[in-house]
Amino acid sequence: MNEVGKVMIKNFEGVYEPAEDSWLMAEHLPIFNGSVLEIGCGSGIISIHLAKRGNQVTAVDINPKAIKATEFNSKKNNVKIEIIEGDMFSKLKNCKFDTIVCNPPYLPPTDEYDDSDLALAVEGGPSGTEFTLKLLSEAPNYLNSAGSLYMILSSRMKKFKTKWSQEIIRQEKYFFERLNLVRFFTR
Ligand SMILES: C[S@@+](CC[C@H](N)C(=O)[O-])C[C@H]1O[C@@H](n2cnc3c(N)ncnc32)[C@H](O)[C@@H]1O
């Protein structure tokens, strides 16, 4: 078990173990009210932080092991989260949320991971940005008006253009990369 803030997280094989990007998001997301959707919940660390703050949280992951991990960790931390196995928004037809958060897979294909579940957690498509671009293009259909989307972006990602307005909420520098917690909004 790892203790991050007041959240206890058990790590599961085949599930992304919370790292600098997870802590950056969990600890520095601003306070907001209402419903939140997390895409790619992994161990559940970010969703559990949000549920502890009083948000109504829905957590989605494509990896069934991540679903089991989030179910286990949310129970351990005494929070109720709606947990859904699915590919991005595929199980959320006609659902709207006040906020969406995502710490996405953002690397181009790498041979660092033997485990295909872990590769899925870090590789965001042929250039690394495909997952992020798909999320940015589909998210408006699932956001209430004036809702925001918070994502982690890395200096290791290829630069991309988007119609969303952006503001950096927090930046952390490491010797191998810069991580930004970014708010995307339309107004
Ligand atoms: C970088 S990990 C983040 C995990 C956790 N939120 C954290 O910050 O520690 C990305 C997560 O996205 C999930 N994922 C990858 N592709 C997905 C997809 N198409 N739909 C839903 N989840 C996906 C992975 O299984 C992984 O758990």
Count of domains in the chain?
1
Is residue 115 in contact with ligand 1, taking CB distance under 6 Å?
Answer: no
d(CA 60, CA 28): 21
pLDDT computed for residue 113 by the predictor: 81
Q: What is the DSSP letter of 142?
A: G
- The domain in which residue 75 lies consists of 2-185
Q: Whose CA is nearest to atom 6 of ligand 1?
A: 41
Q: Taking all residues of the chain, what is their mean pLDDT, rounded to a whole number? A: 94
Element at 2 (helix H, strand E): strand 2-4
Tell how far the Cα of 104 is from the centroid of ligand 1, in angstroms.
Answer: 6
pLDDT computed for residue 129 by the predictor: 95
Q: Position 20: which residue type?
A: E
Is residue 105 in contact with ligand 1, taking CB distance under 6 Å?
Answer: yes
186, 142, 131, 147: which is closest to 163 by C-alpha?
186
pLDDT computed for residue 3 by the predictor: 57
Reply yes or no on whether the pLDDT at 1 is more than 80: no
* 39-64 tens-digit pLDDT: 999 999 999 999 999 999 999 999 99
Q: Whose CA is nearest to atom 13 of ligand 1?
A: 40
pLDDT computed for residue 2 by the predictor: 57
Reply yes or no on whether the pLDDT at 112 is more than 90: no
Q: What is the DSSP string of 40-109?
A: S-TTSHHHHHHHHTT-EEEEEES-HHHHHHHHHHHHHTT---EEEESSTTTT-TT--EEEEEE----BPP
Asked if residues 64 and 52 have their Cβ atoms less than 8 Å apart, the reply is no
pLDDT computed for residue 6 by the predictor: 81
Reply yes or no on whether the pLDDT at 131 is more than 60: yes
Tell how far the Cα of 40 is from the centroid of ligand 1, in angstroms.
Answer: 3
Q: What is the mean pLDDT of residues 177-184?
A: 97
Tell how far the Cα of 103 is from the centroid of ligand 1, in angstroms.
Answer: 7
Task: Output the domain CATH number for residue 174.
Answer: 3.40.50.150
pLDDT computed for residue 5 by the predictor: 65
d(CA 25, CA 154): 13
Q: Whose CA is nearest to atom 26 of ligand 1?
A: 121
